Amino acid sequence: MAEKELNTTAMQGGVKVLRIVNFSHPLSEQAVEQLGHPEIENVRVQIDLDAPVAPQIVDIVDGVETRLDGSVAGLAIVLPGMSEATAYLLAELHGRMGGFPNIIPLRRDDEMGVFVVAIEGVQSLDRVRRAARGRRA
């Protein structure tokens, strides 16, 4: 994939990323390049499955240095791989931010052997929510 293609891939969702809060594995150099080298805060997410998940997510989010009150322009989130943790994280972030965050979908590039930004680029979950509202029965 050419460099120009990499840089436009991150913008296909229409979101310019200036800061990332990464709740997953560290991003590959290719993904960071695709996103235009934004500031990145890596957050360790280790869930004890023998304990309730929601309070653990609250503790994890409380430890994030980036303001998660909706005031940070260009903020995007890399979601954790565990679906239950992701569900609680999105609910927690929506409550704190007043809306859903922008997310960075990642896909494995088998040729490069790393995760890269998905072809749809950075996505606004608030935009997805608004579109779904229009499909209410």
Residue with tokens 């293609």: 5
Quickly count: other Cβ atoms within 10 Å of residue 5's Cβ: 10
- The pTM of this model reads 0.87
3-state secondary structure of 39: strand
CATH number attached to the domain at 3-133: 3.40.50
Res 1: pLDDT: 40
Residue 42 per-residue DSSP state: E
Is the Cβ–Cβ distance between 10 and 37 less than 8 Å? no
Res 14: pLDDT: 67
Contact partners, residue 14, CB within 8 Å, separation at least 6? 121, 122, 124
Radius of gyration for the alpha carbons in the chain, expressed in angstroms and rounded: 15
Res 44: pLDDT: 96
Sequence ranges of the domains in the chain: 3-133
The helix (H) or strand (E) run that includes residue 92 is: helix 83-97
> Residues in the chain with pLDDT < 70?
1-14
Res 4: pLDDT: 38
Res 70: pLDDT: 87
